[in-house]
A and B are shown apart, each in its own frame.
Chain A
Amino acid sequence: MSPVIECRAVCRVFTLRHNRQILLKDRALGLFRPHLRERREQFWALRDVTLAVESGESFAIIGPNGAGKTTLLRLLSGIYQPTIGTISVRGRIAPLLALGLGFQSDLSGRENIYINAALFGLTTREIRSVEASIIEFSELAEFIDVPTKNYSSGMQLRLGFAIAVHLQAEVFLIDEVLAVGDERFSQKCRRRFDEERAAGRTFLVATHDLGFVEERCDRAALLIQGRVAAVGTAKETVQAYRDHLARADATPP
């Protein structure tokens, strides 16, 4: 069977613009004043990334800050296009790059459920059918008609997470939003993750939580400076990352 997520030799180049001319006025002035002109520099956020994630697998992307984890997730979600290489993702995707997207603080929790879920392409009927279940999961029933500006940040994350787990997707692309809230609620999140895995969903998770990776992921890839430094079982890759960190500590730049 062919993989659900596949990256073939993917590179992503960003153009860093120094002195970026965001104003039309500056661009006009730049014609006469060369020192105001913008300078461009190429930055390779990802180089030659080749990965394949099979159906039902939970796959982790680990690595230091700035290694390209978020860029890779945005590429897989379709928010960015690859500069070189090809990407294919089969099935309905739930790109969870942030929780509670589009939340409007003046609107109630219930109204925000509708906006947030519609952002993932759900129709009114689909949202209505999971609304009660979302409210129950979030444990916010008594506050659901209160504007979300009166929520604590933990409550907002709980609501965002509750919506996320009710998206009927086959492939979840998750950026660091695996468990939210207090200890009890985050255990509930992890339990939910296990249930979804048991139901055969595919997960691609970018995270710094190495304990989570070792316990709950099948395989993992280590990204360092935009390159895949290691791929293998979750345990092997986490070990490779720990070795890398130890070496980096031993030889300060």
Chain B
Amino acid sequence: MNAVGPGIFARVKRVLAYHTLVKYLVLKDLKVKSRGTYLGVAWTLLNPLLSLLIYYVIFRHVFRVQIPNYFSFFLVGFVLWVFFSRAITAATTCLVENEGLVKRAVFPLEVLPLSAVLYQFVHHLIALAVALVLMGLAGGMRVTWCLIGAVPLIVTFTVFTLALALWLSTIGVFFLDARDILEVGLPILFWMTPIFYSVDMAPPFLHPFVVANPLTSFIGALRSVLLDGRLPTPGEVTAVVAWVLVALGSGLWIFARHAPTFSEEI
């Protein structure tokens, strides 16, 4: 019963062979959940946009945060956060929600968290485009060739999110309250991530946690490309790459280890 399926690389190859299925599952969600309309996608953007404005008013005008180009500063972090939190929340329940497929169809189950993340990624791309326009209007964005650096960073962050999605979808099979626990944990993580503040503003007792938070590295690197017009330092690149490698390796491993038992555990 603890049989470990084929090796991790063989599994990844099988997932890639099922790219057609991934495509149709993402399209299905776009058609069903977003009603296949641009307005449907707009609705999913409206909610974060509204909270963004509320947070902005509170932090800028009530707490009077003194960060230059504050709007663009937190927009970068906020866009990444909305994608990250939505993707891992959806991934936590994706296997349980597709019980019929897990028990009766034969395909690499990694496809399910992968398509849950990619569905959110489609929205993320639109959100990023809107964010770029807003940053252009609000000021603070440096238009230099360094902007190209944003592309690999966004791809890397998506892979990191996918890795956590593999972890959480596995946990979600064994504990049905994983999603409830996540919904409590995410706000804590949100405030421990320098989205509305900068790392050096964190009080001493929080500082080590904020620095150790992987999201800090990704947001920091993206800010330096978009707002400071400089490429990430070798230190920042190393941190980002290390997080992705550790998360993806362990995520693929934990999923492969438990996938053979999903069909009976669900």
Contact = CB atoms under 8 A, between A and B. Distances in A.
B260 A111 contact: no
A124 interface: yes
B20 interface: yes
A24 B100 contact: no
Contact of B181 (A24, A104, A114, A119): A24
B55 interface: no
B interface SS class: helix
A85 to B, nearest CB: 12
Contacts of B177: 22-25
Interface string A120-147: 1111100100000000000000000000
A127 B20 CA distance: 10
Given A81-B1, A101-B100, A119-B21, A111 B105 contact: no
A101 B31 contact: no
B20 A102 contact: no
B107 A121 contact: yes
Interface string B176-201: 11100100000000000000000000
A212 interface: no
Interface residues on B, range: 20 to 34
Interface residues on A, range: 35 or more
Interface stretch (A92-100, A190-198, A201-209): A92-100
B101 A119 contact: yes
B107 A104 contact: no
In the A-B complex, the 7 residue pairs with the closest CB atoms = A118-B21, A81-B3, A23-B177, A97-B104, A24-B175, A118-B20, A22-B176
Interface of A: 13-15, 22-25, 27, 74, 77-81, 83, 93, 95, 97-98, 101-102, 104, 106-107, 111, 114-115, 118-124, 127
Interface of B: 1, 3, 5, 17-18, 20-21, 23-25, 28, 31-32, 100-101, 103-107, 174-178, 181, 260, 263-264
Given A23-B176, A95-B105, A114-B24, 9 more contacts: A22-B174, A81-B3, A101-B101, A101-B105, A104-B32, A107-B32, A118-B23, A119-B101, A123-B20
10 contacts: A13-B1, A24-B178, A79-B106, A81-B5, A97-B105, A115-B28, A120-B106, A121-B17, A124-B20, A127-B20
